[in-house]
Structure 1
């Protein structure tokens, strides 16, 4: 279920922090994510399970996670992500949205 912002109502502040770190397009372990957001490894691990179940991150290897297209989509819609921060390989929110739209139209045309 989504709240009035269009985001899942189960999404927590820690989830957003995790997704922002994974939004750099890196594949990371829970320990590395926890270190970068100053949270416990156990807490991050629990939230990664929820994010994976919600389709926002995926486990790519034993103990390694990456953001999904759906996770990127949510991330680009958050009003409280500062474009100066540019967590997406230095790209702006608009550049990422455009890339997602282009990828979606490419797959629809196949």
Structure 2
């Protein structure tokens, strides 16, 4: 009887611990999987591409502004911007791609 109770409590604990994962959307899971992976960052101003580069790792958001920053795979330098940007995680460098740098 005691073994059954312990097994039931263990099963309940496992289910309780796993329940937050069951509620994750596929987008949330993909965002978690993309942590620390390189990304293509394309930024626009007035409908023109002003920055098109790849990061060496995670693209971070500024906590007190609308800006982002990342380490450029092209130059090795830190890039910071406050433009309208699209961040495409886990993408390969297209053949013939040329960076657009500030």
TM range (shorter): under 0.3
- Higher share in helix: 1
TM-score relative to the length of structure 1: 0.23
- Rg larger for: 2
TM-score relative to the length of structure 2: 0.24
- Higher share in strand: 2
